[in-house]
Amino acid sequence: MRILGIFIFLILFTFSVANEDFNTHVVDKPLFDYFENNEPHMKRTLHLECTSWKFAVEANNLRPWKIIPQECADYVRKYITGGAYNMEIDRVSREAGAFALSMKLGEDGKDVWIFDVDETLLSNVPYYSQHGYGSEVSNSVEFDKWVEKGVARAIVSSLKLYQDVKSLGFKVFLLTERSERHRIVTVENLMNAGFQYWDKLILRGSEDHGKSATIYKSEKRNEMVQEGLRIAGNSGDQWSDLLGSSASIRYFKLPNLMYYIP
């Protein structure tokens, strides 16, 4: 039975390899042999391939991935610059705001809302616009130079959510992938962008080196829970901001098609 299974598997595997066109996470060949063909239905097919790639990314079906498919670079650019990206962020922020409003907070001031920083509070789109919106292999040296400029702008609807949850009485914890060595520039950037009075800004310390974001952020949330805090909401653009241990009551996944953090 097992041998028969292996035999059937090999046949299926041969077919699946023969038919593979959009399976690889790092797409280093065209999705379509007819990519240069500009006929409308081919454009439509490419568009659908990119929207289904988007769905797979945002619903956490596709992981890990290192770079957006080259064929979807133009799709992602239009998505970000054409209004769809901002509208999705607005939608999520309003859902988060409605949830925050619906929460009954304790009298002890121990209800927490966690925010990620990059692509959640601050936008690095100006940087990525110069690097193919995620279609170029990421370059941490270049990105660090951008971070050190400290000029990232606020994501407007996140700033509104931030102010709303503060006003409602939540403690606000910022939990970021950025390094401790970027603390000062990050604080300055956040304040210049309009973010104020957070309760804690947690950056990656030397002890967090080599940990995945999911592990690092879970550990930091575990510490919050051990301190008796209640994590009500968590806003982040990566699933690694949101999943793992000591998860929030509700999480809010902001869109991000430009990069993936495990």
Residue 163 CB, nearest approach to its own copies (Å): 8
Q: Give every strand in the sheet of 111-115, ordered side by side.
A: 200-204, 171-179, 111-115, 230-236, 250-253
Q: Residue 51 or 222: which CB sits closer to its own copies?
A: 51
Closest contact distance (angstroms) between CB of 82 and its own copies is 8
Nearer CB in complex with its own copies: 186/240: 240
Q: Output 4 or 141, the one with its CB closest to its own copies.
A: 4
Shortest distance, position 147 Cβ to its own copies, whole Å: 26
- The residue (of 230 and 250) whose beta carbon lies closer to its own copies is 250
User: Which residue ranges make up the site for its own copies (CB under 8 A)?
Assistant: 2, 5, 8-9, 12-13, 16, 22-23, 48-49, 51-53, 55-56, 58-62, 83-84, 87-88, 90-92, 94-98, 101, 163-164, 167-169, 251-253, 255
Least Å distance, CB 146 to its own copies, is 26
Which pair of structure tokens corresponds to residue 38?
A: 């500009």
Residue 83 near residue 40 (C-beta atoms within 8 A) = no
The whole-angstrom separation of Cα 60 and Cα 214 is 13
Output 100 or 193, the one with its CB closest to its own copies: 100
**Nearest alpha carbon to residue 113 among 89, 94, 96:** 96
Q: Is 199 within 8 Å of 173 (Cβ atoms)?
A: yes
**In angstroms, what is the minimal distance from the CB of 236 to its own copies?**
11
What does DSSP assign to residue 138? P
Phi, psi (rounded to 5 degrees) for 191: -70, -40
Helix (H, G, I), strand (E, B) or coil at 120: coil
Distances, alpha carbon 66 to alpha carbons 25, 55, 91, 158, in Å: 7, 16, 27, 26
